[in-house]
Amino acid sequence: MKILITGGTGFIGRHFMSRFADYQYTVLTRDTARAYLEFGSQHRYISHLDELPLDTNFDSVINLAGEPIVGVRWSDKQKHTLCQSRWKTTEALVDWMSRADSQPRVFLSGSAIGVYGIDDEASFDEHSRALREDFSTQLCERWEREAKLAEVSTRVVLLRTGVVLGSDGGALEKMLLPFKMGLGGPVGSGEQWMSWIHMEDYLAALHHLMVSDSSSGAYNLTAPEPVPNKRFVKALASALHRPCWMPLPAYALKIALGEASTLLLDGQKVLPKRLLEDGFTFSFNSVEAAMKDLFE
């Protein structure tokens, strides 16, 4: 299978390319030298879509590009970077596909559960709408609109991604140090929902959506059992054989991150209704099993 992928050197992208190493990848990346060192000479690396002739054939296009959003303060400049790194890349891919001699069978484009906004009580599936809009909602809504423009020529899948759990990157990497030092604990009240998914389940779901011709539209890539933050961090501490006793006060996060602290202090209870309807089977339904697999 021939795949054009953006974000191939990112947390999810490099795991996908390693897991499905037999495919032929063309990697769109700002750092082609780094990508070459990581994945080798069997793949193609480009820094701009203009390097691709319009008669290039791809079976799938996977769009995972985007500046990391967690753990950075959202200044006006940073918000602009977060938006443009997602919107412009998606727009460019859709434009290239519209001009290409042949169309890919599927366009899988990143999104996030931030599209549902913040609510501590509601449950969200793919048919839900945001009850309260914020920056994340606006970012994701336009991100998805840009991707859906490709529907005139190919199958489009929107990847509404939750907190992806892996031991070598993503949200957990930022949390590990205090827990390893025995200084971890709940964030804020600890009552906010965390909609998570083990990396192995994410990769399997992404591959399922790529090869399943009947799958299109928005899909929540989250485990069937979202949990409150206090259970999430307790599972992490237990897997690391460390205590879980020192809460991180909400005011400290608000001082450090400003508006961006909402990603850690607020949450959404997001359910993977469409994946389950497709018959997809999760290997890790409980956060305790996921953490144990990653760290024990």
* Domain residue ranges of the chain, discontinuous segments joined by +: 2-295
Q: Which CATH architecture has domain 2-295?
A: 3-Layer(aba) Sandwich (3.40)
Q: How many CB atoms lie within 10 A of CB 99?
A: 9
As a whole number of angstroms, the distance between CA 280 and CA 60 comes to: 20
Phi/psi-derived region of residue 269, left when phi > 0, alpha when psi is between -120 and 50, beta in every other case: beta
What are residue 62's phi and psi, to 5 degrees? -115, 120
pLDDT at 121: 86
Instruction: Give the pLDDT confidence score for residue 32 in this predicted structure.
Output: 95
pLDDT at 73: 95
Comparing C-alpha atoms, which of 56, 35, 57 is closest to residue 45? 35
HSE value, Cβ hemisphere, 13 Å, CA-based, for 8: 33
Q: Count CB atoms within 10 A of the CB of residue 274.
A: 18
pLDDT tens string for the chain (296 positions)? 999 999 999 999 999 999 999 999 999 999 999 999 999 999 999 999 999 999 999 999 999 999 999 989 999 999 999 999 999 999 999 999 999 999 999 999 999 999 999 888 899 999 999 888 899 999 999 999 999 999 999 999 999 999 999 999 999 999 999 999 999 999 999 999 999 999 999 999 999 999 999 999 999 999 999 999 999 999 999 999 999 999 999 999 999 999 999 999 999 999 999 999 999 999 999 999 999 999 98
Q: What is the DSSP letter of 190?
A: S
Distance between CA 202 and CA 272 in Å, rounded? 11
CA 38 to chain centre: 21
Give 95's contacts (C-beta < 8 A, 6+ positions apart).
none
Please tell me the pTM assigned to this model. Answer: 0.97
Write the pLDDT tens digit of every residue in 62-118.
999 999 999 899 999 999 999 999 999 999 999 999 999 999 999 999 999 999 998
Structure letter (DSSP) for residue 91: H
What are the angstrom distances between the C-alpha of 295 and each of 121, 194, 207? 31, 19, 25
Tokens 């897997």, residue located = 239
Using alpha carbons only, give the angle 275, 6, 53 rounded to the nearest 5 degrees: 120
Residue 166 phi/psi, 5-degree rounding, is -150, 155
3-state secondary structure of 267: coil
pLDDT value of position 1: 97
